Structure 1
Amino acid sequence: MTRGDPAEMDLDELRKEIQSIDQEIVELIAQRTYVAESIAAVKRERGLPTTDESQEEAVMERAGENAEQFDVDANLVKAIFRLLIELNKVEQRESR
């Protein structure tokens, strides 16, 4: 993902860049949600519980590691992932 040099971009260009990034984030959330729904279907078929704490811990650990790799606040990234996990769990419970 190549981004322009902020020093050479005007405010409108920077805002367009944010708009593009926001769209990519939403697309990735949609992809993640689709896969999570597939996982929920497999769990239903196999009679597995909605919550898998060890998997959730692994996701959170990965989120923290990825945040550090990209020099982003790990607490912020983990909070976003916690929200994604909780929303997926709510959807899984409602679909049962």
Structure 2
Amino acid sequence: MSIDEIREEIATIDAGIVDLIIKRQSLAGMMAHEKVKAGRPPVDPAQREQVLARAVDRAVEAGIDPTGVREIFNRLVLMSEEKQRGCMGDGNLP
């Protein structure tokens, strides 16, 4: 594979990652509505830790940097929490 072909494949993967983030944010909005119905707060520290642990475990299994993966997933979780707060009327997002 040439450098240009590799870069093209990486760009395709990057677009897919953004699409998955969009889907994740949409699900966070749905989660917010369910949490409102259940009378639960937008942030669940135990669930946050489960998500992070699951990502780190997968990174270790795959032989990639678990610290970097944890940082990425921490940011994803923070984005989801902010989305949920916004949907619940207590955040910076619509």
TM-score (structure 1 length as normaliser)? 0.84
Partner deviation per Cα, 1:24-46 (whole Å, 9 max, x = no partner): 11111112112121111100122
Name the larger-Rg structure: 1
Distance 2:48 2:22 in 1: 19
Q: What's the counterpart of residue 51 of structure 2?
A: 59
Q: How far is the alpha carbon of 1:62 from its aligned partner? A: 0.1
Q: How many residues align?
A: 88
Partner deviation per Cα, 1:36-78 (whole Å, 9 max, x = no partner): 2111110012210111111111101101011112211111111
Q: Which has the higher contact order (CA 8 A, sep 6+)?
A: 2
Aligned residues: CA RMSD: 1.1
Gap runs ≥5 in structure 2? 89-94
Gap runs ≥5 in structure 1? 1-8
Of all paired residues, the percent bearing the same amino acid is 36
Q: How far is the alpha carbon of 1:95 from its aligned partner? A: 2.2
Distance 2:30 2:86 in 1: 14
**Runs ≥4 in structure 1, deviation > 3 angstroms?**
none
